[in-house]
Amino acid sequence: MKTIALTLFTCVVTCQAALAQPGKLDYTPVRINQVVNASYPPGAVAAGLKNGVVSIAISVDEKGQLTDQLVTAYSHPSFAEEALKALRKWTFEPARIRGVGKGSKTDLTFYFEARGVAVVSLDALSAVEFVHYNLASRSDAYSACTLSLLDRIPTPTRIISPLYTNGVPGSTRGAHVRVEFYIDPEGHVRMPSVDQETIVANEELAAAAITAVSQWQFEPPTSKGRPVLVLAHQDFEFKPAASQGRSGSGP
């Protein structure tokens, strides 16, 4: 059972020269310096828990500094506490594009086994693993809410359009950028990101879209009247101003 993303609305942005230059994917992901291992929670064994799992989305800036962390799923809160405790002591090497450090968002999954140390994967919790750890039915488990369980689509209370002013030589065909992000229980945007291919092919447009979405605000998403965390995505269609008969930017 995987978290379902939702598209809020269609947004078209015009710009003087949209960058759309597919090229070699020269991308190096975040590297973790795992200096401290996550410990198995002392009370978990006593509670009869033989294993556990935690998913955490992290944001690392261009200098390798951890700037944000967001727990998106866990089988028991004690595992999340131990994972966060270790994570905050780690150092990172930033993601790089063509050798230059870039801010990025990464998903980490911690797998706890009572007989050994936790294993960390640079991937979000898969649907199969979600079922294996029985997160859906456990009262002490937690995960970002699915679209089908929301009371309604979250209403935006603040929207900032991407600002793109630099003329970039290249194709005039425009570009499509999808920004994925979480809306937390308070309605704040967390962890806005785009995929690697988009960053490499359209770095300036991706940055403009991420910067805009990071400033958005929503009414708290709710499920059965209770504020929840939900995964969303927003599509931006960057169109050359010439094709629209005007310049500037706007939704």
Give which of 36, 29, 38 is closest to 64, Cα–Cα. 29
Q: Which H/E stretch holds residue 250?
A: none
pLDDT of residue 130: 67
Contact 217, 223 (CB under 8 A): no
Residue environment code for 26-57, b if the CB has 16+ CB neighbours within 10 A, otherwise e? eeeebebeeeeebebbeebeeeebebbbbbbb
pLDDT of residue 250: 37
pLDDT of residue 181: 95
pLDDT of residue 175: 82
> Token pair of 113, please?
């086994």
DSSP-derived 3-state class of residue 163: coil
HEC string of 196-207 equals HHHHHHCHHHHH
Instruction: Classify strands 7-15 and 230-240 as parallel, antiparallel or unpaired.
Output: parallel
| pLDDT averaged per 10 residues in sequence order, the chain, 251 residues | 43 45 67 86 83 93 95 92 94 90 92 81 71 68 84 94 62 76 96 87 88 96 95 88 44 35
Structural domains for the chain:
7-244 (3.30.2420.10)
* DSSP for residue 2: P
How far is residue 223's CA from residue 145's CA, in Å, rounded to a whole number?
8
